[in-house]
Amino acid sequence: MEIVNGLHQLKVQVPNNPVGFTLPYVFEVPGGASIIDPGWDADVVLDELTLQLGDIGVSLRDIKQVIVTHVHPDHYGLAARVKEASDCEVLVHAKDIEFMRWRATELPRTDIDAWFGRNGMPANPNGQSNVGGRMGRWMTGMDPDRTIEDGERLPVGDFELQVMWTPGHSPGHACFYEENLELLLTGDHVLPTISPNVGLWPGSESDPLGDYMRSLQRLRGLAVKRVLPAHEYDFEDLEARLDGLEAHHEARLQEVIDAMSDGAETGYEIARGIKWSIGHLDGFDYMTQRAAMTETMAHLEHLMREGRIAMREEGGRAFFYLS
């Protein structure tokens, strides 16, 4: 789909994943094209990307630049194979490269099972052991040719993209603002109906939810006619969606408080008290439960930093209580 003259939106699948698909964006540049978020590393996705590029008169060899909103595999995954085909330049925010290296080196050393257990989550009934190493490899990708920084302006053919650092979903997530055309490419930071995963990782000392909420505020007041996300579909009313995302997380924080008021003390008990959009925590598979736990722990961390709750350790378990 052509967004404006010289800018195209593609659609490639994310295999075996409920998110469904990723929306790469292709900019025509002299002698070829630049692409944002080429998609998941799988043969079927590469075939889809190649076919859709061909529909707009571009081959993989014509790609001059791969720009990435963040290093999750449904965005960064194909970057290495595109570069192999085209010898293009690959650009990623510096903070996400730090994150990728941390996940590949430090996270596998973390006893992830112990961290979940410390927060009350039962052991996997299927006997799956620590998945830190697999998680690390899942995130590992090629190093970029160069990193991008907040406020940097990237000339991309007839377009100029301003880098807007928007951490939360990942530490180095970046949006890209085309001021002249009032277009905002939001990656996973702002999606039309989905709230992106904002999780606290074992071994991290960050406040990802606080980062995310501040990043939403940073987009306030931008002149935006059209929002171009990496999933679902493009839309127009940025301010209304920012309102909705902020309200969602404020409601989730209150759900955490309410669960604690009802007697929940561990992260797992609190996660069971949250109204998840896909059902009750007890019905999730084990890995989805873990993802829900990282989101719950991000909200608990944020509430602790605000002084609204506190935590004590007892018998190798973490217990949360209202301040």
Instruction: Supply the pTM of this predicted model.
Output: 0.93
Whether the predicted pLDDT of 136 surpasses 50: no
Tell me if 163 is assigned to some domain: yes
- Helix-then-strand count for the chain, H and E: 10, 16
Tell me if 150 is assigned to some domain: yes
Tell me if 267 is assigned to some domain: no
Determine the structural domain holding residue 150 and report its residue range: 2-253
Q: Is the distance from CB of 300 to CB of 309 less than 8 angstroms?
A: yes
Buried b / exposed e along 15-24 (16+ C-beta atoms within 10 A): eeeebebbbb
- Per-residue pLDDT tens over the stretch 219-243: 999 999 999 999 999 999 999 999 9
Domains: count for the chain: 1
Quick one: pLDDT at residue 133?
41
Average pLDDT, the chain: 93
CATH of the domain at 191: 3.60.15.10
Element (H, E) at 106: none
Higher pLDDT, residue 103 or 273: 273
Tell me if 25 is assigned to some domain: yes
Measure CA 90 to chain center.
18
Mean pLDDT, to the nearest integer, of 153-163?
Answer: 98
